[in-house]
Structure 1
Amino acid sequence: MPPKPVSTVAVESMFVDELETYRAQRREKDYELIDVREPSEYAAGHIPGARLMPLSRLTNLLGELAPGKELLFYCATGGRSMAAALMAAESDLKPTRVVNLQGGYMAWDGKELVDYPKVRLLTDKASLADMLQEAMHLEKGTFRF
């Protein structure tokens, strides 16, 4: 009996500066953002909303993903995540789209955040009303982030 043909999805590339627009145009339930770095790297910093699935264990973890979603993979710079994206594209998950984030976390972490409230240090010289106003700006910026 001939081997069953493997259906693959082409792996696309996306720059991290396109990620915000991508996420704004989709519902969270339609895609998974997957960090394939090791737990210590993830703990040191990660893109908010990312799910940790280390490349070293990805074969065993792919089954935890819901089929039919768009899958976005990232690592530190883009190499490991490309390997993970290729694995997912060839898996039985049948993702609708597989994306590798170019530059990975290092590119995302160096990205300048624009249009967020400017942060000033709270000092004891500020009035209680001014400190409350600044705290509200900080909370609003954190929520938007």
Structure 2
Amino acid sequence: MIAYFIITALRLRKAVTNLTQEEFIEGYRKAQLIDVREPKDFDAGHILGARNIPYTQLRQRYKEIRPDKPVYLYDQNGGKSARTALFLKKKDYTQLYHLQGGFRTWSGKVKSKK
């Protein structure tokens, strides 16, 4: 079991770059910002400019994400966005970044549906 976690951590390190909120803010406006949470969570509040492609729909919708541009991912805590990055890496996406700590740690601008 421990070996599984170590191998997964090593794969993640190769697939995705973890960014602090400050680093994330520096680059996400020039990239594709993808929220992989479910629509109800996205509607309750998301980072301004984000597109919602839920992790549960990723296999059907990943082609909506351009492989030639940086992809900035986030979810609530960071786990699903990391798994999303592993999936996209297998599909030959190379510029993958995710928000360390996820949306729960975000203190920047947020938009919500009323």
Give the alignment's TM-score, normalised by structure 1: 0.60
Q: Which residue of 2 aligns with 1:95?
A: 93
Secondary structure of the 2:93 match is coil
Structure 1: gaps of 5 or more residues: 1-8, 114-145
Q: Which residue of 1 aligns with 2:83?
A: 83
Contact 1:33 1:73 in 2 (8 A): yes
Distance 2:64 2:28 in 1: 22
Q: Which residue of 2 aligns with 1:42?
A: 42
Secondary structure of the 2:59 match is helix
1:15 aligned residue (11, 20, 24): 20
Q: After the TM superposition, which parts of structure 1 deviate over 4 Å for at least 4 consecutive aligned residues?
A: none
Secondary structure of the 1:84 match is helix
Contact 1:16 1:104 in 2 (8 A): no
**Identity of matched residues, %:** 35
Distance 2:108 2:43 in 1: 21
Distance 1:42 1:23 in 2: 17
Distance 1:17 1:62 in 2: 27
CA displacement, residues 88-114 of structure 1 (integer Å, 9 cap, x when unaligned):
1111xx334111211111111xx278x
Distance 1:78 1:50 in 2: 16
Give 1:1-145 correspondences, 5 Å limit.
Answer: 10-23=15-28, 28=30, 31-91=31-91, 94-108=92-106, 111=107
Contact 1:72 1:99 in 2 (8 A): yes
Distance 1:87 1:21 in 2: 25
Give the alignment's TM-score, normalised by structure 2: 0.75
Q: Which residue of 2 aligns with 1:134?
A: none
Secondary structure of the 2:25 match is helix
Contact 2:15 2:85 in 1 (8 A): no
Larger RCO, structures 1/2 (Cα 8 Å, 6+ apart): 2
Relative to its length, the structure with more helix (as a share) is 2
CA RMSD across the alignment: 1.8
